């Protein structure tokens, strides 16, 4: 999937919210989108998810998409289960498969006991679980999460982390915004940083997410050639980040 010079503004006389964003969204990548409030993150996410069309540029090769909006206020005349069954059909899942996926995600997110409540009477967190469940129902090739973790309990947060990892491992692309830097920390393959004017800088991580999990290892080395040793350690397969705390040996 590719973004080609995406620009977005809401009206001819309004300022550009996003401009000149070009990027490849490769399979099996986890992408964190960051930037200050109002910098255009949500707008870019909606364009990537195909919810709205860009004002300039184009998006090509979008796989089947699941989108979790920033806030999901419910407001529809359905129970949670009815809503998810409708959305499973909209996602193209038929009959028994759709029902099975709905039950599976209600269970995983810890919402099965509340699924027969009306969306209008659900708590914020429970509504958020419905929004997450509908996006994950079709096992989408592209998952777009706009602060999807907000309002979730610990168990559901962990389950969403796991679901993101599953999507990436299955060759999907996951794009997410969250203001908590600890969320999925160190797991992202790319970071898209918004500047103040609607532009995006893409920072690419060195390894795909499918690589083995990073571990923190502290090694104490005594050497006369610190720079040379560092290069050798960096060259070891699987090493991604090195932080060095050099202590100068006392010369006597």
For residues 69 and 172, which CB has a smaller minimum distance to other proteins in the complex?
Answer: 69
How many whole angstroms separate alpha carbon 35 and alpha carbon 198? 10
Q: 110-147 burial string, b = 16+ CB within 10 Å, else e?
A: bbbebbebebeebeebbbbbbbbbbbbbbbbbbbbbbb
Per-residue contact track with other proteins, 4 to 43, x per CB under 8 A? Answer: ------x--------------------------------x
Q: Which span sits near other proteins by CB under 8 A: 84-92, 160-168, 179-187, 204-212? A: 84-92
Per-residue contact track with other proteins, 176 to 215, x per CB under 8 A? Answer: ----------------------------------------
How many whole angstroms separate alpha carbon 252 and alpha carbon 90? 76
Q: Which of 69, 80, 141, 205 binds other proteins (CB under 8 A)?
A: 69
86: contact with other proteins by CB under 8 A: yes
Q: Which span sits near other proteins by CB under 8 A: 66-74, 166-174, 189-197, 241-249? A: 66-74
How many whole angstroms separate alpha carbon 245 and alpha carbon 134? 47
131: contact with other proteins by CB under 8 A: yes
Q: Which residues contact 97 (CB under 8 A, 6 or more apart)?
A: none
Token pair for residue 101? 């996926």
For residues 83 and 205, which CB has a smaller minimum distance to other proteins in the complex?
Answer: 83
């Amino acid at each position: 999937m590719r973004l080609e010079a995406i620009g977005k503004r809401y009206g001819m006389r309004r300022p550009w919210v996003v401009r000149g964003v070009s990027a490849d969204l490769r399979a099996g990548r986890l992408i964190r989108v960051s930037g200050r409030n109002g910098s255009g993150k949500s707008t870019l996410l909606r364009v990537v998810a195909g919810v709205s069309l860009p004002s300039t540029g184009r998006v090509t090769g979008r796989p089947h998409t699941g989108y979790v909006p920033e806030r999901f206020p419910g407001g529809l005349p359905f129970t949670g289960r009815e809503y998810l069954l409708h959305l499973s059909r909209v996602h193209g899942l038929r009959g028994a498969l759709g029902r099975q996926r709905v039950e599976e995600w209600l269970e995983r997110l810890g919402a099965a006991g509340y699924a027969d409540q009306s969306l209008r009477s659900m708590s914020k967190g429970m509504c958020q679980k419905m929004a997450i469940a509908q996006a994950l129902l079709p096992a989408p090739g592209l998952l777009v999460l706009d602060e999807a973790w907000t309002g979730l309990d610990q168990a559901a947060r962990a389950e969403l982390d796991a679901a993101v990892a599953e999507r990436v491992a299955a060759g999907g692309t996951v794009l997410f915004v969250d203001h908590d830097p600890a969320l999925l920390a160190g797991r992202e393959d790319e970071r898209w940083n918004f500047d103040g004017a609607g532009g995006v800088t893409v920072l690419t991580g060195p390894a795909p997410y499918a690589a083995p999990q990073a571990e923190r290892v502290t090694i104490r080395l005594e050497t006369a050639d610190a720079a040379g040793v560092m290069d050798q350690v960096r060259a070891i397969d699987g090493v991604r980040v090195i932080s060095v705390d050099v202590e100068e040996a006392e010369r006597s």
